[in-house]
Amino acid sequence: MAPVVGALLLTGCVLPPQHTHEYVCPDGYEFSIRYSGAEDPGDVALLEDESGASKLPRAPAASGARYSNGITTFWEKGDTAMILYGEEVAHADCTR
Q: For residues 50 and 72, is the Cβ–Cβ distance under 8 A?
A: no
pTM of the complete model beyond 0.75? yes
Tell me, rounded to whole angstroms, the distance of Cα 18 from its chain centroid.
9
**How many angstroms separate the most distant Cα atoms in the chain?**
57
* C-alpha–C-alpha distance, residues 22 and 27, integer Å: 15
Can the peptide bond before residue 41 be classed as cis, meaning omega within 30 degrees of 0? yes
* C-alpha–C-alpha distance, residues 82 and 23, integer Å: 10
* C-alpha–C-alpha distance, residues 20 and 1, integer Å: 37
| Domains of the chain listed by start with CATH number | 17-95 (2.40.128.200)
Q: For residues 51 and 72, is the Cβ–Cβ distance under 8 A?
A: no
Q: What is the pLDDT of residues 14-73, one digit of tens each?
A: 445 568 899 999 999 999 999 887 666 678 999 999 999 999 999 999 999 999 999 999
Q: If DSSP codes are grouped into helix, strand and coil, which group holds residue 8?
A: helix
Higher-confidence residue: 18 or 82? 82
